[in-house]
Amino acid sequence: MPTLEQVDAFRAGIDDLSTLAIRDTKTLLASLSGASGVETRNALIEYLPSMIDPYVTASSELAAGWYEELRADAIGGRFYATADAAVNRAQVNALVRYGVKPLFGQSDASPLSLIGGGVQKLVAGASRDTIDTNITRDPVIVGYARTPQPGCCAFCGMLASRGAVYRSGNTAGEVVGRGVDSSIALDENGNRRQGYVGGVGKGVKARGVQGLGEKFHDFCRCVATPVFSGADNSAVTETTDKYMDMYLQSVGTSTSAYSKKDPTNAQFESVSAKETLANWRREFGTK
């Protein structure tokens, strides 16, 4: 299992690539300063993909090498990770059209702030996609945990509190819960409680990688840290425990729609992510 120092070093490498990509984006925008909004949009759609492609490729290569190193340290053996992330031109097209809104009077932000955030997400996302791809290919049981930087936002902290529950491969589509504990719907004998008509979750956990685990906002610096079965996972456990403590201090609940219709079912409450995040921000002063 990687140490927090290894995670921080990897994060720094991705940060450097993102910084260079945003620098080049700024230079490209500056070269278009005299152009109209339409001309700027069209030029960005044409040139931005090829400009950021080297950084996306480097991010993927860095993640593949990191995965191989971590795997060898954790369980030994040989595994050749693939680095096949590539710029998605459709994504860049959508990013540009969103980012040039200020040029058409549709936003008070600057084009650089809007496009730069998306560029960072594409570069960092290439490393996460690479980790995910190789988790899918790897024959050993492996998942990943989100490891945020200190002082992260409430959303990233909440997801980090879940530990290594994010997986791909055969479990990619597995539903491991939607925030409703099974005890809400089932009695002590495992039978559906009288009057409960909702679905039965498997606990307050995230889905696989298709769920919350794959959501990364602009300028997010969370690292998807591989966790190998049978390895020393103390570094992830330490991080998870920290954010779990914060989560337990912030967790909020909401009454289900079924209970609202029938007040006698008021015990049927589930975790409210919205309320939990609001409590977290207020309690710890994060975004």
**Tens of pLDDT, residues 138-182:** 988 788 888 998 889 999 998 888 887 776 433 323 333 333 344
**Tens of pLDDT, residues 244-263:** 999 888 887 665 544 555 55
- The per-residue b/e assignment along 211-223, b for 16 or more CB within 10 angstroms, e otherwise, is bbbbebeeebbbb
For residue 101, is pLDDT > 90? yes
The three-state DSSP-derived secondary structure of the chain is CCCHHHHHHHHHHHHHHHHHHHHHHHHHHHHCCCCCHHHHHHHHHHHHHHHHHHHHHHHHHHHHHHHHHHHHHHHCCCCCCCCCCCCCHHHHHHHHHHHCHHHHCCCCCCHHHHHHHHHHHHHHHHHHHHHHHHHHHCCCCEEEEEECCCCCCHHHHHHHCCCCCECCHHHCCCCCCCCCCHHHHECCCCCECCCCCCCCCCCCCCCCCCCHHHCCCCCCCCEEEEEECCCCCHHHHHHHHHHHHHHHHHCCEEECHHHHHCHHHCCCEEECHHHHHHHHHHHHCCC
- CA distance linking residue 197 with residue 180, whole number of Å: 13
Check residue 190 and give its pLDDT.
Answer: 56
Lowest-pLDDT choice from 60-74, 192-206, 217-231:
192-206
For residues 56-77, average pLDDT: 94
Residue 213: pLDDT band by 50, 70, 90 thresholds?
A: low
Lowest-pLDDT choice from 70-74, 77-81, 85-89, 265-269:
265-269
Lowest-pLDDT choice from 5-14, 120-129, 257-266:
257-266
Computed over every residue of the chain, the mean pLDDT equals 80
207 vs 4: which has the higher pLDDT = 4
